[in-house]
Amino acid sequence: MRLNQAIAVIQSIKEDSRKRRTEIYHLLQKSELFEGILRTYQPNDEEGFVYPTESKSLQFKAEELLRQYEQAAQELFNFAATQDFANTQAKADVVIGGTTILTDVPVTYLLFLEKQIEELRSLLAKLPVLDVSEEWQLDQQRDCWATLPKRTTKTKQITKAVVLYEATKEHPAQVKEASEQVPEGIWTTIKLSGALSRSRVNQLKERLDTLERAIIFAREQANSIEVEKKNVSDAIFGYLFGS
């Protein structure tokens, strides 16, 4: 038997064993199933009336149910032992593009890594990405992304007098105040970002997919080893339920 064959059937064995053991467990809680009676009548006088025998047969014996429980658990115990003992021997290398990045990795750790891949995939999906509407370049001094400087004029409002009519001998000059926006200075704006470029995010996702495939391949390779079928149930239940 190969380890992957044991893994393939262990779930069905677990379910079948669970159902059978649950049935036995429920039966053990019904005390009336383990009770019987036998009543016979003997008159004092030989001529006296003889009442018929009263009886109630036992439906179950506890020792028999213990044996049934043992039978229901035997295959599960043995297959679980076969799988777990083999898992300590099942190992494989994780290889990417011909380069071994992990050597002799136990199959249990490969399974752990497969679960972590899903968490990492969720992490990558949440990474902030640079706004494509801006033009970004790496700012070595600030160690982040930055846009090119964008200059805008800062204006301010001033009030000045506007002469409507010049003064004459007969009338004074007519003057009105008027507002005007005049340049005050220059704003220089540089946007900074700690996000990632779309190409970098895609690169990370591709690497994660490649790593996942390598881990799955290694697990399949590790699970292809030949295993020795274990028999532990006789020792366990022989001690536990033995007379």
Residue with tokens 């750790």: 109
In a domain, 140, yes or no: yes
HEC string of 170-214 equals CCCCEEEEEEEEEEEEEEEECCEECCECHHHHHHHHHHHHHHHHH
Question: Residues 150, 66: one domain?
Answer: no
- For residue 161, the model assigns a pLDDT of 82
Question: Residues 24, 86: one domain?
Answer: yes
**What is the extent of the structural domain holding 53?**
1-90+226-243
Question: Residues 11, 83: one domain?
Answer: yes
Among residues 224, 239, 235, which one has the least CA distance to residue 77?
Answer: 235
Question: Residues 75, 13: one domain?
Answer: yes
In a domain, 9, yes or no: yes
Question: Residues 68, 143: one domain?
Answer: no
In a domain, 115, yes or no: no
pLDDT digits (tens, 9 = 90+) for 74-114: 999 998 898 888 888 899 999 999 999 999 999 989 999 99
In a domain, 151, yes or no: yes
Cα diameter, the chain: 167
In a domain, 237, yes or no: yes
d(CA 119, CA 107): 19
- For residue 65, the model assigns a pLDDT of 92
- For residue 128, the model assigns a pLDDT of 94
Question: Residues 4, 59: one domain?
Answer: yes
Report the chain's mean pLDDT, rounded to a whole number: 91
Question: Residues 1, 86: one domain?
Answer: yes
- For residue 177, the model assigns a pLDDT of 84
In a domain, 217, yes or no: no
pLDDT digits (tens, 9 = 90+) for 1-59: 788 888 788 889 999 999 999 999 999 999 899 889 999 989 888 888 999 999 988 89
Res 209 pLDDT > 90: yes
Question: Residues 82, 149: one domain?
Answer: no
- For residue 26, the model assigns a pLDDT of 93
Distances (CA, A) of 59 to 22, 54, 62, 123: 18, 16, 10, 60
Res 116 pLDDT > 90: yes
Question: Residues 86, 2: one domain?
Answer: yes
In a domain, 189, yes or no: yes
In a domain, 214, yes or no: no
Average pLDDT of the residues in 146-168: 87
**Looking at the 3D structure of the chain, how many domains does it have?**
2
- For residue 121, the model assigns a pLDDT of 95
Question: Residues 186, 231: one domain?
Answer: no
Question: Residues 231, 184: one domain?
Answer: no
